[in-house]
Structure 1
Amino acid sequence: MSAATPHVTVVRACLRGGAGGSPTAVVVEDDTPDARLDDAWRRRVPAAWGTSHAVYVRREGDLTALRFFTSAGELPACGHGTVAALALLAARAGGDRPHRATLRTGRRVFAGRAGRAGDRFAAAFDAGRVDLREPTAEERVIVLTALGLDPVEAGPDVRIAGVGRERVLVPVADRAALAALTPHLDELRTACDRFGLLGAYVHSTPTPDGVLAARMFAPSIGVPEDIANANSTACLAAHLAGRGITGIAVDMGDSLGSPATITATTGPGRTVELGGTAEVLTA
């Protein structure tokens, strides 16, 4: 990486009990306004800094614009990347009061906030409205088979959901079944590419108070398994709201040795607020 380009800050987003989380590269492009960044450079940052995702932050008047990249290219949204960006903005703002920002991604403008929680930051933002639909018979059979699951035994609660790009939500019986899952990643990538899906978010059955676990497989965007996927958690929260569960806490990352937790609360019209705790590692 060239010294002329903006400084990269690594933020561990969506910690669990102060540990783990998803390391995310955050670049405040305003730090070096004369730097000429291109998207090829933006794609190189995650691998160079040992992260799955990178988020690029730029002031646009009263708005803070966010762009998200993996090594495979740009994403329309990234929940844990948004948590990471908010945590860094709060760290830079200083003070004990929550830092509030109006954020813009390529598709929408929304509110976010982050405040100190000891030596870390608790962040939350409006994930927006979630769109839900039944999978087609073809989507169901091909994607579930690629996951190593029986399309019949998976039951009726499989959903296609989107906040931006669609992904498939797949229930399994419990955490043990989730941990034992061994998807065929090449087949899953082919299936997701065929149907235009971001990936497959497989989750355990929630407890009565909304606690569960999940794993997110997204080989089509260069992430075989994601440590924390907040936007997919928003999708699940909207789906479970139909059962009267309006708040969930989802554990992820255990299979990757980096435990993470994401919270989500559903409001009117299937709107969801996402939350997570983050630690700014470098500044």
Structure 2
Amino acid sequence: MALRIVQVDAFTDRPFAGNPAAVCVLPSPAGPAWMQDVAREMNLSETAFLNAEGDGYRLRWFTPAVEVDLCGHATLAAAHVLWEEGHLSADRQARFQTRSGLLTADRRSEWIELDLPATGPVPAPPPAGLIEAVGVTPGYVGKTRFDYLLEVASEAAVRTLQPDFRALAGVEARGIIVTARASTPGFDFVSRFFAPRAGVAEDPVTGSAHCALGPYWQGRLGTAEFVAYQASARGGTVRVRVLGERVRLGGRAVTVLRGELAAA
């Protein structure tokens, strides 16, 4: 039986921007090897797989190379598909059981707000080869639950960064977040995210990174609400609210492709 698969651009209000994710709503749980094959075929930074479970859905995320423990943009895309395709009524909360616990999504007019765990960094020495591979001298290095976070001197330094991806793939880290205070009006901070070790050289807009960036910039700037911009080639805007051990991320989403997976 063919399965419907939907491609969504997340953290953007226009097609061909933000971060694309594929979303597949399954009639029952599927095997991880098959899901990994589909994710490799889709060749996007993440593919999300959902099946009904309890009062919500079981949600799993795969890059073309590995299953990951937390992915914000594919969660945003999954919630968007559930509402747009009629799996959930517009006034119902989307509830997801994941490897990072219960995550929820609520509609806020044209925006979707995710409730995710905070993963703020603690100061840490950089792993061998990191600074050389990134190609910039940071003013701060910290480690989050998943990644390393580097603060650099300026927004321009973030935007012009050209990492050595081959070298970065050899660094012991799922991903690298590089951030700076924003100089562009309307934004509080900017960032980029690199994860060649997980099969994604540069992720266009990374929800899970903002689970770390929110608490980090709360400590630096003394406020708990931000408008952030991820300065990849596609770019994307993320609203961030830090609420203790949780982070609320707001973003928009646009469907760009609907199709059928024939090799189901």
TM-score, normalisation: structure 2: 0.87
Runs of 4+ with deviation above 4 angstroms:
16-19, 94-97, 207-210
Q: Secondary structure of the residue that 1:190 maps to in structure 2? A: coil
Tell me: CA distance 1:113–1:216, structure 2 relative to 1, closer, same or farther (3 Å).
same
Q: Secondary structure of the residue that 1:234 maps to in structure 2? A: helix
Distance 1:17 1:198 in 2: 29
Query: How far apart are residue 86 of structure 1 and its match?
Result: 0.7
Please, which runs of 5 or more residues in structure 1 have no aligned partner? none
Q: Which moved more, 1:183-192 or 1:92-101?
A: 92-101
Q: Does 1:39 align with 2:52?
A: no
Tell me which residue corresponds to 1:215. Answer: 192
Q: Does 1:249 align with 2:233?
A: no
1:107-118 equivalences in 2 (<5 Å): 107-114=100-107, 117=110
Q: Secondary structure of the residue that 2:226 maps to in structure 1? A: strand
Tell me which residue corresponds to 2:66. Answer: 73
Query: How far apart are residue 124 of structure 1 and its match?
Result: 1.4
Tell me which residue corresponds to 1:123. Answer: 112
Q: Secondary structure of the residue that 1:42 maps to in structure 2? A: helix
Tell me which residue corresponds to 1:191. Answer: 171
1:76-95 equivalences in 2 (<5 Å): 76-93=69-86
Q: Secondary structure of the residue that 1:93 maps to in structure 2? A: coil
1:233-244 equivalences in 2 (<5 Å): 233-243=210-220, 244=222
Q: Secondary structure of the residue that 2:100 maps to in structure 1? A: coil
Query: How far apart are residue 50 of structure 1 and its match?
Result: 4.7
Tell me: CA distance 1:277–1:90, structure 2 relative to 1, closer, same or farther (3 Å).
same
Query: How far apart are residue 96 of structure 1 and its match?
Result: 8.3
Tell me which residue corresponds to 1:228. Answer: 205
Tell me which residue corresponds to 1:11. Answer: 8
Out of 126, 130, 142, which is 1:143 matched to? Answer: 130
Instruction: Tell me if the contact between 1:99 and 1:115 (Cα under 8 Å) persists in the aligned partners.
Output: no
| Superposed CA offset, 1:51-82 (max 9, x none) | 22100011112121100001111111100011
Query: How far apart are residue 49 of structure 1 and its match?
Result: 3.3
Tell me: CA distance 1:95–1:160, structure 2 relative to 1, closer, same or farther (3 Å).
closer
Query: How far apart are residue 87 of structure 1 and its match?
Result: 0.6
Distance 1:76 1:26 in 2: 16
| Superposed CA offset, 1:7-64 (max 9, x none) | 211111110567611111000012xx4xx84323322334433522100011112121
Distance 2:188 2:44 in 1: 27
Q: Which moved more, 1:79-88 or 1:100-109?
A: 100-109
Tell me which residue corresponds to 2:150. Answer: 170
Tell me which residue corresponds to 1:265. Answer: 241
Q: Secondary structure of the residue that 1:204 maps to in structure 2? A: strand
Tell me: CA distance 1:68–1:42, structure 2 relative to 1, closer, same or farther (3 Å).
same
Q: Secondary structure of the residue that 1:45 maps to in structure 2? A: helix
Q: Give the number of the structure whose residues are more often helix, by fraction.
A: 1
Distance 1:245 1:6 in 2: 45
Tell me which residue corresponds to 1:159. Answer: 142
Query: How far apart are residue 189 of structure 1 and its match?
Result: 1.6
Distance 1:97 1:52 in 2: 27
Query: How far apart are residue 212 of structure 1 and its match?
Result: 2.4
Please, which runs of 5 or more residues in structure 2 have no aligned partner? 259-264
Q: Does 1:204 align with 2:187?
A: no
Percent of aligned pairs sharing the same letter:
25
Q: Secondary structure of the residue that 2:78 maps to in structure 1? A: helix
Instruction: Tell me if the contact between 2:190 and 2:231 (Cα under 8 Å) persists in the aligned partners.
Output: no
Query: How far apart are residue 88 of structure 1 and its match?
Result: 0.7
Query: How far apart are residue 100 of structure 1 and its match?
Result: 0.5
Q: Which moved more, 1:168-177 or 1:217-226?
A: 168-177
The CA RMSD measured in Å over matched residues stands at 2.4
